[in-house]
C-alpha cells in the first residue's frame, strides 16, 4: 500500500502565493489602507480614535427595500455612507445590502459576513447559509463591503488571469521576476480603478459601515455572525462599539496579534494538513470512489503539466495558480474532501 507522507511538491509555497493572490483580488486596498488581518488590536484601537462622529450619531438612513433576484425571497437596498468617515458630510459611496425576512416570530436582524477580505455578502446570503431555526426568528442580512461587488467597487481583475497562469512557486530568477511583474500590474490596476476609494478601504472603515447598517435597519442592538476575515470585522466592531452588541458569533477566528507573514504561514500549514487528510481519505476510499489511486501523486502530475503549459484558453485557463487555489478551496470544508 502506498502511504504518502510527503506534501505534494511546491504545494505549501504555492498555497501561500495563491492565498496572496486571492487576498489581493478580493481587497487589494487593505494593504494600501493599512488595516489588514495582521493589524494588532492596539493598531485597531488607534484607528477608532479619530475625531469622527460614530454612525449612530448620524441621521438614521431610510432603506428602500425592493424584491430582487439575488436569492430565494431576497430583498435588496442601497445604503449611502461617507467615503471617508472622518468627513461624514463629504462624498458618499453605496453599500449593496440584501435581506431575507424572518418567517416567524421576529427577534430582529442578524447581519452576516462571509470573510475574504472581499467576500460578497450578496452571494453569501443567496446560498441560504443559515438554519431554519435562525431564519424563523431573524431577518438575515448581509452586504457587499465597500469596494466589493455591487457596492461602489474597486475593479482590478483584468490582470489577474496573467498572474494565475504563472507558477506561484518560482524555480528561477526569471519566473520570480514574472511573478513580481504580474503582481505589480494588479496593484496598478487597483490604483487606477479608484484611488480615492482605495485609500478608504480598511477594516476599521468596514466596521463603521457595519454600525451604519445597524442604525439604518433600526435594530438595537447588533446581532452579528462573521466567518474567517469576517471575525476580524466583528472584533474591530466590538472594540469600537462594545455597548451596541446583543450577540456576536465568530467562526474561524483571525488572531489579531499575528503579523501578516505569521498569519499566512499558519493558515498555509492548516491548508497543507487538510490536503494531506484529503489524500489519506482518497486512498482509503479507493480509486473507484476517489477517481485516482494516489491523489498526491495526481496533484504533482497535473502541477508539472500546467507549470510547463497552462491548460485551456481564453477565460478558461488552468495554470499553477488556479490549481493551488483549487487545493485551498477544497480544504475549507470536509464536504470538499
Is the domain of 203 the same as that of 295? no
Q: At what angle do helices 11-27 and 173-193 cross, to 10 degrees?
A: 20
Is the domain of 173 the same as that of 202? no
Structural domain includes residue 34: no
Residue 43 scores a pLDDT above 90: no
Higher pLDDT, 104 or 28: 104
Higher pLDDT, 312 or 47: 312
What pLDDT score was predicted for residue 89? 93
- Residue 275 CA neighbour count, 13 Å, CB half: 31
Residue 5 scores a pLDDT above 80: no
What pLDDT score was predicted for residue 337? 63
Q: How confident is the model at residue 156 (pLDDT cuts 50, 70, 90)?
A: confident
Query: Which three-class secondary structure state does DSSP give residue 22?
Result: helix
Is the domain of 124 the same as that of 77? yes
Structural domain includes residue 113: yes
Tally Cβ neighbours within 10 Å of residue 311: 13
Rg (CA), the chain: 21
The per-residue pLDDT for range 78-111, each reduced to its tens digit, is: 999 999 999 999 999 999 999 999 999 999 999 9
The per-residue pLDDT for range 225-255, each reduced to its tens digit, is: 999 999 999 999 999 999 999 999 999 899 9
Point out the least confidently predicted range of 26-35, 95-104, 190-199, 244-253.
Answer: 26-35
What pLDDT score was predicted for residue 60? 52
- Per the structure, the count of domains in the chain is 2
Is the domain of 189 the same as that of 313? yes
Is the domain of 98 the same as that of 240? yes
Please report, rounded to a whole number, the percentage of residues in the chain having pLDDT higher than 70.
Answer: 80
Is the domain of 320 the same as that of 223? no
Q: What are phi and psi of 140, to 5 degrees?
A: -90, 130
Is the domain of 242 the same as that of 147? yes
Please report, rounded to a whole number, the percentage of residues in the chain having pLDDT higher than 90.
Answer: 50
**Mean pLDDT, rounded, of the chain:** 81
Is the domain of 242 the same as that of 118? yes
Higher pLDDT, 134 or 61: 134
Is the domain of 82 the same as that of 166? no
Point out the least confidently predicted range of 16-20, 222-226, 248-252.
Answer: 16-20
How far, in Å, are 7, 80, 274 from residue 284 at the CA level? 17, 53, 15
Point out the least confidently predicted range of 98-107, 266-275, 294-303, 312-321.
Answer: 312-321
Residue 290: domain span? 11-26+159-193+259-336
Is the domain of 143 the same as that of 291? no
Structural domain includes residue 21: yes
What pLDDT score was predicted for residue 15? 46
The per-residue pLDDT for range 120-147, each reduced to its tens digit, is: 999 999 999 999 999 999 999 999 999 9
Residue 58 scores a pLDDT above 70: no
Cβ atoms of residues 272 and 11 within 8 Å = yes
The per-residue DSSP string of 230-264 comes to HHHHHHHHHHH-GGGEEEEEEES---TTS-HHHHH
What pLDDT score was predicted for residue 203? 93
Is the domain of 240 the same as that of 166? no
Structural domain includes residue 330: yes
Pairing between strand 138-144 and 92-100? antiparallel
Which residues are within 8 A (CB) of 243 and not within 5 positions of it... i.e. 6 or more apart? 221
* Residue for grid cell 473507484: 288
Amino acid at each position: 500500500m502506498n502511504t504518502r507522507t510527503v506534501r505534494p511538491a511546491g504545494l505549501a509555497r504555492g498555497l501561500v502565493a495563491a492565498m496572496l493572490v486571492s487576498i489581493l483580488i478580493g481587497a487589494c486596498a487593505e494593504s494600501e489602507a493599512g488595516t489588514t488581518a495582521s493589524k494588532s488590536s492596539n493598531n485597531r484601537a488607534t484607528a477608532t480614535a479619530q475625531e469622527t462622529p460614530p454612525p449612530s450619531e448620524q441621521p438614521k438612513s431610510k432603506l428602500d427595500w425592493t424584491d430582487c433576484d439575488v436569492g430565494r425571497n431576497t430583498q435588496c437596498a442601497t445604503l449611502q455612507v461617507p467615503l471617508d468617515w472622518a468627513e461624514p458630510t463629504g462624498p458618499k459611496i453605496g453599500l449593496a445590502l440584501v435581506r431575507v425576512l424572518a418567517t416567524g416570530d421576529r427577534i430582529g436582524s442578524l447581519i452576516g459576513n462571509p470573510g475574504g477580505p472581499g467576500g460578497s455578502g450578496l452571494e453569501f446570503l443567496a446560498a441560504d447559509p443559515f438554519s431554519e431555526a435562525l431564519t424563523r426568528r431573524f431577518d438575515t442580512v448581509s452586504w457587499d463591503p465597500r469596494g466589493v461587488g455591487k457596492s461602489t467597487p474597486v475593479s482590478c481583475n483584468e490582470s489577474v488571469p496573467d498572474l494565475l497562469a504563472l507558477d506561484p512557486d518560482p524555480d528561477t530568477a526569471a519566473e520570480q521576476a514574472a511573478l513580481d511583474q504580474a503582481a505589480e500590474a494588479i496593484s496598478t490596476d487597483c490604483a487606477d480603478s479608484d484611488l480615492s476609494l482605495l485609500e478608504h478601504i480598511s477594516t476599521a472603515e468596514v466596521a463603521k459601515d457595519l454600525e451604519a447598517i445597524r442604525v439604518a435597519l433600526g435594530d438595537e442592538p447588533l446581532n452579528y455572525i462573521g466567518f474567517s476575515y469576517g471575525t476580524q470585522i466583528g472584533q474591530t466592531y466590538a472594540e469600537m462599539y462594545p455597548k451596541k452588541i446583543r450577540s456576536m458569533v465568530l467562526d474561524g477566528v483571525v488572531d489579531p496579534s499575528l503579523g501578516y507573514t505569521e498569519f499566512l504561514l499558519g493558515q498555509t500549514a492548516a491548508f497543507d494538513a487538510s490536503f494531506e487528510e484529503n489524500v489519506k481519505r482518497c486512498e482509503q476510499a479507493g480509486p473507484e470512489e476517489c477517481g485516482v489511486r494516489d491523489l498526491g501523486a495526481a496533484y504533482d502530475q497535473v502541477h508539472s503539466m500546467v507549470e510547463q503549459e497552462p491548460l485551456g484558453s481564453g477565460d478558461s485557463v488552468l495554470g499553477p495558480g488556479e490549481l493551488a487555489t483549487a487545493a485551498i478551496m477544497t480544504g475549507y470544508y470536509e464536504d470538499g474532501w
